C-alpha cells in the first residue's frame, strides 16, 4: 500500500473511531438513569473504563492526526520548555489509560459475578502497578515514533498478562453463569490481543503490521457495544443477575 494511501486510511479511521467511542460514552451516560439499580455499579465501571479509553485514544490517535497535519509523524510541540513528540505523547497517554481500563474491567468482572479478589486477581493487579512503573523509565523513549525494542516488548508483558487474565475470568465465569454478553466481551479482548501482539513484536521490522491496530481497535469498540447493549439498553426485567460463589 502506498504511504500516502496508508496515511489517509489511518486518518479517516482514527477520526471515525474517536467519534464512535465518544458517542458511545455519551450514550452510556445519557442512559445511566435507566439502568437497573442492581447494575448501577457495573454500569458506572463501564462508563469510567470507556471514558478513560476514549480520553487516552484521543491523545494517541488524535495526536497522530495532528502530526500528519503538521507534515510528519516526527512533529513536536513545546511542553515545559522542551520539544515533545506528538506521537510519543499520545502513546504515553494511551499506555496509561489502557492499563487503568483493564483494572476497571477486572473490577467489573468482580462486581458482575459477585466474586472476591484472590491470589490470581492480586497478581493481575500487580501487573498493572508494574506496567505503570515501567512507563516512568527512560528506556521508553516516548519521543520515538516507533517504540524501541526490546523495551517495547518488555513493557507490554505486564499489560498482556493483565488483559488476558481479565479475558480468561470473563470467559470462565460467563460460561458458568450462562452470561453470553460477558463471554463475548472476553472473546473480543482475546481478539484485540491477537492483533496487538504481532504489532508489538514486529512493527519495527515490518511497519505494515501496524495496520493490525485497526481490527484491534474494532475489538475494543465491540466490547463497548456489547456492554452497552447488556447494561444500558435492556429493560430492568430483562437484566440477568449472574452470581458465582467461587473465588478466582
In the chain, what are the domain boundaries? Answer: 3-238
Distance CA 179, CA 172 (A): 10
Q: Residue 49 in contact with residue 231, Cβ under 8 Å?
A: no
Interval 51-60: pLDDT, tens: 999 999 998 8
Q: CA 235 → CA 33, 107, 230, 238, 239, distances in Å? A: 12, 24, 10, 5, 7
Percent of the chain residues topping a pLDDT of 90: 60
CATH-assigned architecture of domain 3-238: Up-down Bundle (1.20)
Q: What is the mean pLDDT of residues 4-26?
A: 87
Q: What is the pLDDT of residues 198-235, one digit of tens each?
A: 998 888 788 888 889 899 999 999 999 999 999 998 65
What pLDDT is attached to residue 42? 96
What is the model's pLDDT at position 74? 73
The DSSP call for residue 211 is G
Q: Which three cell numbers stand for residue 139?
A: 528506556
Among 67-76, 123-132, 209-218, which range has the highest average pLDDT? 123-132
Q: What is the pTM of this model?
A: 0.87
For the chain, what is the radius of gyration of the CA atoms? 19
Q: Does the structure show a pLDDT above 90 at 69?
A: no
CA distance to 66, 117, 168, 192, 207, per residue, from 212 (Å): 21, 34, 22, 9, 10
Question: Is 90 exceeded by the pLDDT of residue 35?
Answer: yes
Q: State the cell numbers at 14.
A: 482514527
End-to-end CA, the chain: 46
Phi-psi region of 36 (alpha: psi -120 to 50; beta: other; left: phi over 0): beta
What are the tens digits of pLDDT across the range 87-125? 778 888 999 999 999 999 999 999 999 999 999 999 999
- Using the 8-state DSSP alphabet, how is residue 147 labeled? P
Residue 242 pLDDT exceeds 50: no
Amino acid at each position: 500500500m502506498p504511504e500516502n494511501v496508508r496515511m489517509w486510511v489511518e486518518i479517516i479511521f482514527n477520526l471515525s473511531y474517536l467519534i464512535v467511542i465518544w458517542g458511545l460514552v455519551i450514550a452510556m451516560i445519557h442512559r445511566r438513569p435507566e439502568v437497573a439499580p442492581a447494575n448501577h455499579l457495573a454500569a458506572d465501571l463501564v462508563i469510567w473504563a470507556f471514558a478513560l479509553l476514549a480520553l487516552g485514544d484521543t491523545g494517541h490517535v488524535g495526536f497522530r492526526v495532528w502530526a500528519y497535519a503538521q507534515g510528519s509523524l516526527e512533529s513536536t510541540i513545546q511542553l515545559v520548555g522542551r520539544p515533545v513528540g506528538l506521537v510519543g505523547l499520545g502513546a504515553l497517554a494511551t499506555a496509561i489509560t489502557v492499563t487503568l481500563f483493564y483494572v476497571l474491567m477486572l473490577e467489573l468482572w468482580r462486581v458482575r459475578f459477585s466474586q472476591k479478589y484472590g491470589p490470581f486477581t492480586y497478581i493481575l493487579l500487580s501487573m498493572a502497578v508494574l506496567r505503570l512503573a515501567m512507563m516512568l523509565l527512560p528506556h521508553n523513549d516516548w519521543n520515538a515514533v516507533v517504540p524501541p525494542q526490546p523495551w517495547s516488548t518488555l513493557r507490554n508483558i505486564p499489560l498482556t498478562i493483565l488483559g488476558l487474565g481479565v479475558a480468561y475470568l470473563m470467559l470462565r465465569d460467563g460460561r458458568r453463569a450462562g452470561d453470553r454478553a460477558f463471554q463475548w466481551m472476553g472473546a473480543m479482548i482475546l481478539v484485540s490481543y491477537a492483533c496487538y501482539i504481532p504489532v508489538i513484536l514486529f512493527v519495527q521490522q515490518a511497519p505494515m503490521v501496524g495496520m493490525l491496530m485497526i481490527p484491534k481497535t474494532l475489538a475494543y469498540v465491540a466490547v463497548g457495544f456489547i456492554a452497552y447493549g447488556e447494561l444500558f439498553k435492556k429493560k430492568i426485567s430483562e437484566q440477568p443477575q449472574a452470581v458465582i460463589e467461587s473465588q478466582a
